[in-house]
Amino acid sequence: MWNRIVVSDQNRGVYGALVHEHLRQRRALFYERLGWDIPHSEHIEQDQYDRAETIYILIERGGQVEGYARLLPTSARVSYGAMDYSYMIRDATLGLLPGIPSGILGSRRAPSASTIWEVSRLEASGKAALTALFLTIAEFLEEAGAVELLAFTRKSFATIVRGIGFEAALVGAPVDYGGKPYCAISMTWGAAERPDSSDSSESSGGPDSAPSQAEPLRLAG
């Protein structure tokens, strides 16, 4: 059964080992396998969007992290010396992230609101884990009073999230990123599919079902 975990600054010490494991998996995927030019250390991948207000959604089963996502409100701001950062999509539109075109939102202005959040650095071991991941994201955002979720990802990901019950719309025109069509996607979750009890649990207990052997589902950015 899944453990669906929301990690904030207040409880990060409790889940430190799982947070570190997801950062290790991020390095293995985004830096080692996909070859992205991103900040990393010898063991983990972290950047300027991993900070106090960052929320991590982790899907764990049998001690293994099978899904993860990073959330930030679009109202977030932080300064590193002379550099000011907010969230990834907005910073890209300001030309602060080389490699990501500044026009990814088209005519839409980058939002700055506590009701609009960004999701990035997302991976799941298969559809069941992805559904549990997005269910947990939806529940968290509802409690936070959010109404929209933004991502910069593969164009095809809109179809994937629609398949688990989310509404998804492309924002701006797709751009070439790493040789593939990427774009900003706006998501809402009023009709999000609820996984059955055999796939999802908020606490440990009961026999674990077999892990999914499907190709991992990845949301870039």
Are the C-beta atoms of residues 125 and 61 closer than 8 Å to each other?
no
As a whole number, mean pLDDT of residues 87-106 equals: 93
The two structure tokens encoding residue 5: 């975990």
Q: Which of 14, 38, 8 is nearest to 26 (CA)?
A: 38
The structure tokens 């955002």 sit at 141
Mean pLDDT of 105-109: 96
Task: Return the minimum-mean-pLDDT range out of 21-35, 146-160, 186-200.
Answer: 186-200
Predicted confidence band of residue 214 (pLDDT cuts 50, 70, 90): very low
Q: What proportion of the chain, given as a percentage, has pLDDT over 90?
A: 57
- Considering only CA atoms, give the Rg of the chain: 17
pLDDT, position 32: 53
In tens, the pLDDT along 40-89 reads 556 777 889 999 999 999 999 988 999 999 999 999 999 888 889 999 99
∠ CA 67-55-202, nearest 5°, is: 55
Q: Which residue has the tokens 């440990």?
A: 204
How far is 21 from 7, CA to CA, in rounded Å? 13
